[in-house]
Structure 1
Amino acid sequence: MNDTEIARGSTAERPHGVADGTGLIDEALAYAAPAALRAVAACGVADHLADGPRTARELAGTTGLDAGALHRVLRLLVTRGLFTEDPEGRFALTTRGALLRGGVPGSLRDAVLMLTDPTFWGPAARLDHCLRTGESVFTEVFGVPFFDHFARDPATAAVFHDGMAAMSSVEDEPIARAYGFPATGTVVDIGGGRGGFLAAALRTAPGLTGVLYDRPHVLAGHVLGPAADLAGRWTIAEGDFFEKVPTGDFLVLKRILHDWTDEQSVTLLRNCRRALAPGGRVLVVDAVITPDARPHQGKTLDLLMMASLVGRERTEDEFRALFTAAGLRLTRIVPTPAVLGVVEGVAD
């Protein structure tokens, strides 16, 4: 290795300590990548590459962005597999980068904007507060708790709900099919947002009916109405799931429990137990953290829960403890192609 290779940042064949040090600095710099990702998502850059490769200068002409700055941002994202750059300096979308386009099937642009929104980004920068106190830092940053902030800021609430819908759009059908709902019964999607998972569940079996349960302002944006194949098979119900939930055969809590403390989660699960039809099931659809060193998206999301909310991602044992405290018995965990599992429980 020559001095030029070292200057360029190669870690190949470096002394062990130097390589470790460079790797640690890389970890400290890693936040620049999601910053770049957010920037191109916010500026809609991927939409301008749908028809083929373009140089940064050509992209600048159609987007109104600065060509030099755009080239530097895209150059970093090339190293992350989101774009490619050819010898002529033309950038193109990869399969993964194409998910940054807006308004296309499977788009994750809104999910990226949600996960990099200041509501998560700001508190994440203050994790030291969480380490010192064991508490969320969100109220200290924004003045009120997470969901109270959304109640007073409709624009931020829209970012959250759009982002959650985008994340759900690519996982709802695989999760519903992996669980394997029976031919008949009533599925209640508790805190179900716009109804994407309920729609996916109903489509797995034509004899199923469903209830979408959430706050009125969330239900106003539900997606069930236009679907002809779901006509007559669903209703909506408004309410607070900490007070009560509708009766059904399958009470679904998808990406809900991880928002809340153990005590709040037990309260919610008890409400579900009371509302279960005879022989019914409670289905908690959340990340199930494995007790080993394997990478898992849930371990990253867990830190966002810690910083911005009051909940956490949980292990199988932690779910079992919650179920037991609520008078439920954990019967099985159904793996899915997504990062979430289906934790199933019955009345004990």
Structure 2
Amino acid sequence: MPHDENQPAADRSPQAVEEGLRRSAAFLIDEALGFVFPAALRAAADTGVADALADGPATAAELAAATGTDARNLYRVLRLLATRGVVAEDGHGRFTLTETGQALRSDVPYSARSAVRMLTDRTFWRPAERMAHCLTEGTTAFDAVFGMPFFDHFAQDEETAAVFHVGMAAMSDVENPAIAAACDLPDTGTVVDVGGGHGGLLLEVLRRNPGLEGVLHDRAHVLAGHRLEGEKEVAGRWSTVEGDFFTAVPAGDVLLLKRITHDWDDDACVTLLGHCRRALRPGGRLLVLDAVVPRDDAPHQAKTMDLMMMASLTGRERTEADFADLLDRAGLRLSRILPTGTVLSVVEAVVAD
């Protein structure tokens, strides 16, 4: 009769305990090798292999010639990517980019190439290696690795900052249409995208809501790469405002905060949310667009992202109760949480009575 792996060891036979330990060791060793796959994905993104496969199947040698890489080592990377369905190898040693792998190309809508490069950048990779530091010291590992906080490092390293902002835009492009559709917005008024980056979300919001005007708020060097200019559908309905959201936020009827609060600790978030409360016009609403961590053992991207935040920044992913507490401290009230069909939710808040 099969034994129950959740049965206490004292109630199982020595043979069953030993077999369970063997399975545990095999599982943990296999999981410990898991970091190699993102490294292979990063290598493929860096060298443009997916673009070289856009025209059809090719051997590793043909791809190596097209990308300036070593054929034997490229084959080894592709072989691992094939185990997760990014590419497929036929019986003649030719590789094809699968439907799953299409977004690794740089020339397709919703390209994930920049997002892959950002998420596997050394600014996240190296602190993750030092995660034990977070447990023993109770602080981010980023400062110990790079000698300064995350955003200070970006301020002095333009190349890394560009990887981050372009990668965030690519990551957001996939989710923005669904998020914009899920937001309950008025027919008229002003929507302010606070810390809105290159404006991908605001663009989707204005496209879906022709009676709204929009303000894209961020630092000057970020706004320099915004994407609102030249979009005929939203012409004349947007403006940009340079600024630091820890100092002030432009006034509006609806304020959006997308993937912002998870970057910062609770006290910093309360400061930011306080600025948002003061910027809301009468009857206005704040929409915090972030993951809400479920209270169960099921896999969820927010649980993975939470550890990346822990290692590199001071923030964290939050539960519904966490958001309610933050908003309350800032003089706001959580009114409802709306699903979006993505890993993010719409955490809607109003000024507290």
TM-score normalised by L of structure 2 = 0.93
**Aligned to 2:348, what secondary structure does the other structure show?**
strand
Q: Does 1:120 align with 2:124?
A: yes
Q: Does 1:287 align with 2:291?
A: yes
Alpha-carbon distance in 2 for matches of 1:58, 1:218: 39
1:259, 1:312 within 8 Å by CA — same for their partners in 2? yes
Counterpart of 2:97? 93
Higher deviation after alignment, 200-209 or 111-120: 200-209
Q: Does 1:238 align with 2:242?
A: yes
How far off its partner does 1:62 sit? Answer: 1.3
How far off its partner does 1:55 sit? Answer: 1.0
Higher deviation after alignment, 171-180 or 34-43: 171-180
2:206, 2:214 within 8 Å by CA — same for their partners in 1? yes
User: What is the letter of the counterpart of residue 263 of structure 1?
Assistant: D
**Aligned to 1:289, what secondary structure does the other structure show?**
coil
1:156-305 pair list within 5 angstroms: 156-305=160-309
- Cα shift readout 1:178-198 (whole Å, capped 9, x = no counterpart): 123232121100000010001
Aligned length: 335
RMSD: 1.1
The one of 303, 318, 328 equivalent to 1:314 is 318
User: What is the letter of the counterpart of residue 256 of structure 2?
Assistant: V
Counterpart of 2:73? 69
**Aligned to 1:203, what secondary structure does the other structure show?**
helix
Counterpart of 1:148? 152
How far off its partner does 1:58 sit? Answer: 1.3
The one of 44, 51, 66 equivalent to 1:47 is 51
User: What is the letter of the counterpart of residue 123 of structure 1?
Assistant: P
How far off its partner does 1:16 sit? Answer: 4.3
**Aligned to 2:349, what secondary structure does the other structure show?**
strand
User: What is the letter of the counterpart of residue 38 of structure 2?
Assistant: P
2:327, 2:349 within 8 Å by CA — same for their partners in 1? yes
Q: Does 1:343 align with 2:327?
A: no
1:255, 1:286 within 8 Å by CA — same for their partners in 2? yes
How far off its partner does 1:18 sit? Answer: 3.1
How far off its partner does 1:31 sit? Answer: 0.4
Alpha-carbon distance in 1 for matches of 2:120, 2:224: 25
Alpha-carbon distance in 2 for matches of 1:191, 1:338: 20
User: What is the letter of the counterpart of residue 143 of structure 1?
Assistant: G
Higher deviation after alignment, 45-54 or 14-23: 14-23
- Cα shift readout 1:177-219 (whole Å, capped 9, x = no counterpart): 0123232121100000010001111111100110000001111
Counterpart of 1:82? 86
Alpha-carbon distance in 1 for matches of 2:84, 2:184: 36
How far off its partner does 1:272 sit? Answer: 0.5
- Cα shift readout 1:119-150 (whole Å, capped 9, x = no counterpart): 00000000000010110011111111100101
How far off its partner does 1:89 sit? Answer: 1.2
Give unmatched runs, 5+ long, in structure 2: 1-17
Alpha-carbon distance in 1 for matches of 2:330, 2:148: 29
State, as a whole percentage, how many aligned pairs show the same letter: 61
TM-score normalised by L of structure 1 = 0.95
Alpha-carbon distance in 2 for matches of 1:115, 1:142: 17
1:181, 1:204 within 8 Å by CA — same for their partners in 2? no
The one of 30, 35, 48 equivalent to 1:31 is 35
> Cα distance 1:16–1:90, how it changes in 2: closer, same or farther (>3 A)?
farther
**Aligned to 2:216, what secondary structure does the other structure show?**
strand
- Cα shift readout 1:61-106 (whole Å, capped 9, x = no counterpart): 2112111101111111111111111111111111121111013211
Alpha-carbon distance in 2 for matches of 1:48, 1:250: 44
2:51, 2:107 within 8 Å by CA — same for their partners in 1? no
**Aligned to 2:340, what secondary structure does the other structure show?**
coil
**Aligned to 1:211, what secondary structure does the other structure show?**
strand
Alpha-carbon distance in 1 for matches of 2:158, 2:327: 34
